[in-house]
Amino acid sequence: MAGTLIDGKLIAKKVRGDIQKRVDKLKEKGVTPGLAVVLVGHDPASQAYVGMKEKTCIKLGIHSEVYRLAEETTQEELLGLITKLNNDPKINGILVQLPLPKHIDEGKVLDTIDPEKDVDGFHSINVGNLVIGKDAFVPCTPYGVIVMLEESGVELTGKHVVVVGRSNIVGKPVATLALQRHATVTIAHSRTKNLPEITRQADILIVAVGRANMITKEMVREGTVVIDVGINRVETGLVGDVDFEGVKEVAAQITPVPGGVGPMTITMLMHNTVLSAERR
Ligand code: GUN
């Protein structure tokens, strides 16, 4: 049995239609939402992501500022730029693209962003508020995963969600969001013993580890919903963390890579930016 595709591009298009209406409404009131993206260094993947964010802003009529800084930029210079953006009324959202060069303290940088402009949801205050269920900016990739599941008619209540990966950007927040929606949640990671035994228990399997094709057909039970957050560059192009060709034979529903979670991440960033402007 081949599973059905969860089409991230199609769902993103629908959600962006709603975001567009909210942008238009704000503009009628004389408000243009604004997003500032800061990129330090020349990581090719980061450069591509930043370019896509800029393009999507322009399409939706969101004011976009991109700061491309040299690899040697000092922490003080970066913190100075963030402070300037914190105080700039044209800017509703600030995103510092990760990873940062090694000489810069990532936690310090993220905690310098005004929590009310932290559209990535990475400031300690937003992370804490998310965990205790208070109003917070929800990190874009995990948020996109949840919206995809909801739009695909996948109920979370009472389901066993297995998350593979424990990063601050995806694994931990997506587990928190699933828990809030009354799922039973297991987080597996690189030190987990008997990983296939655990992944085979999943009703919903969310994979965010960054290792090409690591989840194989044998690790997935018939009827599982599979969400692949990985994007890995291999000789043949881009592939996910899930061996798509094999796993699609057993999954009930599955996201492709590319065209799955990726378009949703950018969409939720636009949502958070517009939300920030609406709250102003
Ligand atoms: N690098 C990889 N994913 C992300 C993300 O969601 N936000 C930022 N700022 N950097 C990233």
Ligand 1 atom closest to Cα of 265? 6
141 lines ligand 1 (CB under 6 A): yes
CA distance 236 to 251: 24
pLDDT of residue 1: 55
Closest-CA residue, ligand 1 atom 4, reads 98
If you measure from the C-alpha of residue 1 to the centroid of ligand 1, how many angstroms do you get, rounded to a whole number?
Answer: 35
Phi and psi dihedrals of 77, rounded to 5?
Answer: -60, -45
Nearest to 7 by CA among 202, 152, 154: 152
Closest-CA residue, ligand 1 atom 9, reads 97
Counting Cα atoms < 13 Å in the Cβ hemisphere of 31 gives 18
Ligand 1 atom closest to Cα of 269? 6
Region at 41 (left for phi over 0; alpha for psi -120 to 50; beta for the rest): left
Is 190 known to sit in a ligand binding site?
A: no
Ligand 1 atom closest to Cα of 98? 10
Tokens of 203: 């009703």
Cβ atoms of 280 and 274 closer than 8 Å: no
Closest-CA residue, ligand 1 atom 8, reads 97
Phi and psi dihedrals of 65, rounded to 5?
Answer: -125, 130
Is 146 known to sit in a ligand binding site?
A: no
pLDDT of residue 138: 98
Does the annotation mark 120 as catalytic?
yes
169 lines ligand 1 (CB under 6 A): yes
Nearest to 48 by CA among 255, 243, 258, 240: 258
Is 169 known to sit in a ligand binding site?
A: no
CA 143 to chain centre: 6
The SS3 of residue 277 is helix
Report DSSP letters for 141-157, one per residue: HHHHHHHHHHHTT---T
- pLDDT (tens place) for every residue of the chain, 280 residues total: 588 999 999 999 999 999 999 999 999 999 999 999 999 999 999 999 999 999 999 999 999 999 999 999 999 999 999 999 999 999 999 999 999 999 999 999 999 999 999 999 999 999 999 999 999 999 999 999 999 999 999 999 999 999 999 999 999 999 999 999 999 999 999 999 999 999 999 999 999 999 999 999 999 999 999 999 999 999 999 999 999 999 999 999 999 999 999 999 999 999 999 999 999 9
Does the annotation mark 43 as catalytic?
no
The SS3 of residue 21 is helix
Looking only at the bridges linking them, the beta strands covering 4-5 and 253-254 are parallel
Question: Which domains, from first to last, does the chain contain?
Answer: 31-117 (3.40.50.10860), 139-261 (3.40.50.720)
| Ligand 1 pocket test, candidate residues 40, 49, 138, most atoms within 8 A of CB | 49
**Around Cβ 79, how many Cβ atoms within 10 Å?**
16
Tokens of 59: 């399409």
ipTM computed for the complex: 0.95
Cβ atoms of 130 and 181 closer than 8 Å: no
| 77 DSSP 8-state letter | H
If you measure from the C-alpha of residue 197 to the centroid of ligand 1, how many angstroms do you get, rounded to a whole number?
Answer: 31
Q: Helices marked H in 124-243 — which ranges?
A: 124-132, 140-151, 171-180, 195-199
Q: Enter the pTM of the model.
A: 0.97
Q: What is the dihedral of CA 159, 165, 167, 172, to 10 degrees?
A: 10
CA distance 265 to 170: 11
CA distance 227 to 238: 16
Q: Which of 20, 111, 117, 120 is catalytic?
A: 120
Report DSSP letters for 34-97, one per residue: EEEEEEES--HHHHHHHHHHHHHHHHHT-EEEEEEE-TT--HHHHHHHHHHHHT-TT-SEEEE-
120 lines ligand 1 (CB under 6 A): yes
Does the annotation mark 97 as catalytic?
yes
If you measure from the C-alpha of residue 180 to the centroid of ligand 1, how many angstroms do you get, rounded to a whole number?
Answer: 23
Residue showing tokens 């034979």? 249
pLDDT of residue 2: 80
